[in-house]
Structure 1
Amino acid sequence: MCGISAIILANLQGLACPELFESLGILQHRGQDAAGIVTCGSKGRLYQCKGNGLVRDIFDESQLRTLIGNMGVGHVRYPTAGSSAHAEAQPFYVNSPYGLVLGHNGNLVNAAELRRFLDLEAHRHINTDSDSELLLNILANNLQATGKFRVNEEDIFNSIGQLFEQCTGGYACAGMVAGFGIVGFRDPNGIRPLVYGRRKTAYGYDYMLASESVVLDSLDFTDITDVLPGEAIIITKHAITKRHLVADKVFSPCVFEYVYFARPDSIIDGISVYKARLEMGEALASQVLRALGDDMDIDVVIPVPDTSRVSALQLSYKLNILFREGFIKNRYIGRTFIMPGQEMRRKSVRRKLNPMALEFANKNVLLVDDSIVRGTTSREIVQMARDSGAKKVYFASCAPPIRFPNVYGIDMPTSRELVGYQRNEVQISQEIGADRVIFQDLDDLVAACRKLRPDITRFDTSVFDGDYVAGQVTTAYLDHLESLRNDKAKGTLQEDEAAPETIGLHNSFKRKN
């Protein structure tokens, strides 16, 4: 998963970089592997700073001062195919035609086909293994085919429309055409989120695109609107135009955004993430009642911070069982789910969470988490509860068992590395060391989100049921994905690609040591 943003200021002498920097800090939860900003000056020159690490580690005041211009694109990243190469930090740039910049959240399932096309037919050089670079070059090739010296909105819309036909998968993109304006578009199924808003100033309206509404809220933008599935939006200093380019696909936003990824203070596709998690807790409470029945002996409900806290609170309220904070989180440790490598994840769990023994001692505890993916974190947490004196440890998941890899931009492990793979609930309980595991029912999870937006008839639930809404997911593709995503591959040292690009930008690189 990644976070993207783009901004254009009405003040032609204004600086876009401070607010892009702020936006990436707000979106840090969506990616902690790399970050980058590219801005555009008044004469169309591009200025860039990107690298591996957290936002605070990559940018400092002296670097931000070099990022001049009133518009730009920002990106935070974690790798969806296991690579953490410095050269894959985004946004990406191509100089032909017009000077194009793109930040991408998602994943393409036909990347191999696109790579062959760009190499053999379009003759465009691809420098990384990132499908984001493929997306950018597909767009660039479509624009170049116009043969025009200067681009206009119609050319961009036509080129994005062609891209929708060429690229299969889940993707939301924020881009920029040098000296022209910013661009946003979203895959035809709307799997990955994207919003935009405006802010009135003395010079006119500033506009911003971002992965989540909380970015725009925090930076005082209003009239926040979702980019629709298959829709593109172009914003220049003169006007804002948008066009729905694909109309025959089923709107299927990713349900995992509401379960785990998005901040609770975001609203995605008209659904409050906070309210959706309350509904998940309500439904999960009913599941716990059905599972334990007369054997209900839970003394205390304890959330696994932070994502599950809202659901756990509602669950405890419905069950009329005491809610307590049993784990104190070190907020300076990254999200273990998105850390590359099983060993790093395992070691990070105990550094990240510290149990308070007084809340566990001599109690039957119900731990509530948003989901169970590999089981590594859950196993460590259950053991910490037992080490702190818990008599029984039940484990409730706000999501159903995850049994299939994600192909739309979430770095799920290989099928065999998923704790839910070919295991029932009893076997999963044994695997993580819990007395019992209770999972949310898939229908209840979907209903929790649909209750807030009934007109959405389908969500992407492929990690739970293996139904890949965008299509073209073959056994060969999944086998290839597994070869890239397994922990053995992630632990293999790769060629260092950190040399600064010679692309005619002002480059400022800072590697986290």
Structure 2
Amino acid sequence: MSEAIKHECGIAFIRLLKPLSYYQKKYGTALYGLNKLYLLMEKQHNRGQDGAGVATIKLDIAPGQRYISRHRSLATNAVADIFEYIQKKFADIQKEQPEKMADAEWLKNNVSFTGEVLLGHLRYGTHGKNSVENCHPFLRQNNWMTRNLVIAGNFNMTNVDELLQQLYDLGQHPKEQADTVTVLEKIGHFLDTENQGLFDQYKREGLDDNVEISKLIANDLDVAKILKKSAKSWDGGYTISGIFGHGDAFVMRDPVGIRPAFYYYNDEIVVAASERPAIQTAFNIHIDDIREVKPGHALIIKKNGKISEEQFSEPQEKKACSFERIYFSRGSDASIYRERKQLGRLLCPQILGAIDSDIKNTVFSYIPNTAEVAFYGLVEGIHKYIKQYQRDQLLNREDKITDEELTEVLAIAPRVEKIAIKDVKLRTFITQDADRSEMVAHVYDTTYGIVKNGVDTLVALDDSIVRGTTLKQSILKILDRLKPKKIVVVSSAPQIRYPDCYGIDMSRMGEFVAFEAAISLLKESGRYQIIADVYQKCKESSKLPKEEVENYVKAIYEPFTDQEISDRIAQIITPKDINAEIQVLYQTLDNLHKACPDHTGDWYFSGNYPTPGGNKVVNRAYVNWMEGKNQRAYM
């Protein structure tokens, strides 16, 4: 993507089902779990580079000993920084008492992070705040082991105000207004309630030994019941992993399946992660052996090792995030790789129309680096077109083809080149806007000497176009130096028209070049009343329950065809003093769903939000834009 957008976040969960000594004997190290956690996190580093965190819990630790360990980091390479911190503990032992490194029981009793339950998190902060306190995992502490709670997740709730009010009504006083706090405290509240209920039950049954009661509580806690009560009023997209202090653990997924979650288990280990290839690589597991957590369900691992997948909320029509397939998830997943190629392949008819099928005088390229796989699909599609063209020329001619003509027909091939090159990251130490813009213009460089001046059309594939600023300030200026007749910028994703409220850093209406284009067209055609009417409806909708709210912002786009908006976008992103003609093409929604049939969540393109809170958020985002408030439309 020419303009990186941020995305929350990635989880990595491991539960060792055997004693640490088992892994020491079989794999030669009691740190097997930590080593695998490191791999899981590094293989998902694309999901968060603003910070990271790790927490572990030791099972069956005697009273008075520390059993929960946690470390979080904001370092540039946060995952490496965390594991260097952890590794130093063992490096000192290796140096001073090397024989202890083979004593799994001693390590568990004497060194932090040698637990059987491990949870890691990678964070992208979508808005502003980026301190260690904002990094997962979050910890809710209590002297009662079964009331301790550690959570980490990939989530965003649209109704934080409502959830906070519920906490106030319970008599709580949350320390800040954030969805992480509401999730932690909501689960924590019902964990406390379940604990107290069981405690009172055992007392009524005549048990007086509180130590024995604590053991019974640990065994009998109903994790699914706790999650069901906690999530009853959540509105958002989420994958949340949690561990109770005594060792029960869970990985839960929202009822619409917006955020991804995969897991695998055998008799040694349970592992869960946000991305399937991370599990495949870290544990050398075949793709068919990895399962997906079902929407509205939680993978539950009891302290005794029992594994189940239980429903905590009624599953809705699945609307898994399509941006995961287009951009966020690593393309090493087999199905994602195929889907991205198909996205490129399906663009061929539009591109051939834009270049008048003039393959000979067209150079095909892409904007590095995430559009590369879609570009492979595009090239395959062009090759297929050429083969069909050659077949038609050779089989459907009435006269005999000459040797010269035959040579020319057989010589047709797409000119595939790497045109745009992502250069070294330039430091923005210059504060003046004009100077900074000049620096931004050089973020990319280009390959000279492969475009015929004033003759060739240059097709540049990007995987999505959000704001268009990098295209305008940098890429198009650089490509124009090659002196092409025309530059066709192609997005393998449809037009991004609406904010996301489930985890992606796209929340302000004014940042979308498609929205800017539609507003520009409305003003140019004298339809100011539509802009005002939408504002009024959005304002009035703030008083309604979220279940009754519609997406009124759709009316902004209704008067225009997709092509009209694309053409206006081309005008907006065309820099001054550029010589080449600029055309912009976007993937269609129909083709997106053909390429990614199992991930139909497309609200940022279509405005069809899968939860009621989404409509409330988009309307609030429009109001913020109209009122000049540069803030996101959700907590």
Report the AA paired with residue 309 of structure 1: E
CA distance in 2, matches of 1:239, 1:331: 50
Displacement, 1:352? 5.5
Superposed, which structure 2 residues align to 1:65-104 within 5 Å?
Answer: 65=89, 66-96=112-142, 98-104=147-153
1:234 aligns with 2:286: no
Measure, in 2, the Cα distance between the counterparts of 1:447 and 1:220.
32
Question: Structure 1 residues 28 and 350 mapped into 2: Cα distance closer, same or farther (>3 Å)?
Answer: farther
- Alpha-carbon distance in structure 2 between the residues aligned to 1:372 and 1:68: 45
What SS is found at the alignment partner of 1:421? helix
Give me the whole-angstrom Cα distance separating, in 2, the residues matched to 1:356 and 1:216: 38
Q: Matched residues in 2 for 1:440 and 1:344: separation? A: 35
Aligned-partner Cα distance in 2 for 1:101–1:229 = 22
Query: Which of 434, 457, 472 is matched with 1:364 structurally?
Result: 457
Shift of 1:445: 0.5
The answer to whether the 8 Å contact 2:251/2:299 transfers is: yes
Which letter maps to 1:224?
A: I
**Cross-structure match for 1:448:** 595
Could you tell me which runs of 5 or more consecutive residues in structure 2 were left unpaired when the two chains were aligned.
1-6, 21-29, 90-111, 199-213, 384-413, 428-432, 518-564, 575-580
Q: Does 2:262 correspond to 1:262? A: no
Change (3 A) 1:372 1:344: farther
Assess if the C-alpha contact under 8 Å between 2:38 and 2:83 holds in 1.
no
Preserved contact between residue 259 and residue 321 of structure 2 (Cα < 8 Å): yes
C-alpha separation in 2, matches of 1:18 and 1:344: 46
Identify if the C-alpha distance between structure 1 residues 243 and 489 changes in structure 2 by more than 3 Å, giving closer, same or farther.
closer
For the pair 1:142 / 2:190, whether they are aligned, the reply is: yes
CA drift at 1:296: 6.9
- Out of 229, 252, 258, which is 2:319 matched to? 252
Say if 1:286 and 1:143 are closer, same or farther in 2 by CA, change over 3 A.
Answer: same
Q: Trace 1:98-247 onto structure 2 (pairs within 5 A).
A: 98-118=147-167, 120-146=168-194, 147=196, 148=198, 149=214, 150-152=217-219, 155-198=222-265, 204-220=267-283, 222=285, 223-236=289-302, 237-247=304-314
Instruction: Measure the CA separation in 1 of the matches of 2:381 and 2:296.
Output: 40
Q: What is the CA distance between 1:168 and its match in structure 2?
A: 0.8
Shift of 1:474: 4.5
Moved more, 133-142 or 36-45: 36-45
The number of equivalent residue pairs is 468
Q: Is the 8 A contact 1:39 1:69 kept in 2?
A: yes
Question: 1:322 is matched with which residue?
Answer: 415
Return the alpha-carbon distance in structure 1 between the equivalents of residues 622 and 78 of structure 2.
Answer: 28
The separation in 2 between residues aligned to 1:481 and 1:218, in whole angstroms, is: 43
Cα contact 2:271–2:279 (8 A) shared by 1: yes
Structure 1 Cα separation of the partners of residues 327 and 163 of structure 2: 31
Counterpart of 2:43 (choices 16, 26, 30) is: 26
Matched to 1:460, the amino acid is G
- The amino acid of 1:234's aligned partner reads I
- Distance in 2, matches of 1:298 and 1:112, equals 57
Closer, same or farther: CA 144–481 of 1 in aligned 2, 3 Å: farther
| Distance in 1 separating the partners of 2:233 and 2:434 | 38
Asked if the contact 2:256–2:315 (Cα under 8 Å) also holds between the matched residues in 1, the reply is no
Aligned residue identity for 1:315: L
Counting only pairs closer than 5 Å after superposition, residues 420-459 of structure 1 correspond to structure 2 as 420-423=514-517, 424-433=565-574, 435-450=582-597, 456=598, 459=600
Verify: 1:384 aligned to 2:478, yes or no. yes
* SS state at 2:612 partner: coil
Name the counterpart of 2:78: 55
* Local SS of the residue matching 1:381: helix
Tell me the distance in 2 between the aligned counterparts of 1:210 and 1:130: 24
Specify whether residues 480 and 309 from structure 1 end up closer, same or farther in structure 2 by C-alpha distance, changes over 3 A only: closer
Which of 275, 278, 288 pairs up with 2:338?
275
1:504 corresponds to:
none
How many Å separate the matches in 2 of 1:328 and 1:421?
29
Q: State the percentage of identical aligned residues.
A: 27
User: Which of the pair is proportionally richer in strand?
Assistant: 1
- Partners of 2:250 and 2:240 in 1: CA distance: 8
Establish whether residue 470 from structure 1 lines up as the match of residue 611 from structure 2: yes
Report what 1:286 is aligned to.
349
CA pair 84-489 structure 1, distance change in 2 beyond 3 A: farther
Highest RCO, 1 vs 2 (Cα 8 Å, sep ≥ 6): 1
- How far apart, in 2, do the equivalents of 1:95 and 1:111 lie? 23
Question: Structure 2: how far apart are the matches of 1:481 and 1:251?
Answer: 27
Change (3 A) 1:319 1:242: same
Shift of 1:291: 4.3
AA at the equivalent of 2:512: L
Aligned-partner Cα distance in 1 for 2:73–2:379: 43
Distance 2:375 2:338 in 1: 13
Taking the aligned partners of 1:260 and 1:407, their CA distance within structure 2 comes to: 17
- Letter of the structure 2 residue corresponding to residue 180 of structure 1: G
Is contact 1:413–1:482 with CA below 8 Å preserved after alignment?
Answer: no
Specify whether residues 89 and 314 from structure 1 end up closer, same or farther in structure 2 by C-alpha distance, changes over 3 A only: same
Rounded Cα–Cα distance in structure 2 between residues aligned with 1:348 and 1:171: 38
Q: What's the CA shift for 1:56? A: 4.6
Letter in 1 for 2:459: L
The alpha-carbon distance between structure 1 residues 69 and 483, as it changes in their structure 2 partners (threshold 3 A), is: farther
Unpaired stretches in structure 1, ≥5 consecutive residues: 335-341, 451-455, 491-513
Structure 2 distance, partners of 1:333, 1:28, is 22
Amino acid at match of 1:79: G
Residue 59 of structure 1: SS of its match in structure 2? helix
CA offset digits 1:71-121 (Å, max 9, x no partner): 211111112344323311111111246211111112101111111222x12
- Closer, same or farther: CA 482–30 of 1 in aligned 2, 3 Å: farther
Q: What SS does the aligned partner of 1:305 have?
A: coil
State which drifts further: 82-91 or 181-190.
Answer: 82-91
The separation in 2 between residues aligned to 1:260 and 1:347, in whole angstroms, is: 28
Partners of 1:346 and 1:377 within 8 A in 2: no
Q: TM-score, normalised on structure 1?
A: 0.83
The partner residue of 2:54 within 32, 37, 49 is: 37
* 8 Å CA contact 1:170, 1:192 repeated in 2: yes
Alignment check: 8 A CA contact 1:326 1:360 kept: no
Partners of 2:236 and 2:611 within 8 A in 1? yes
SS in 2 for 1:62: helix
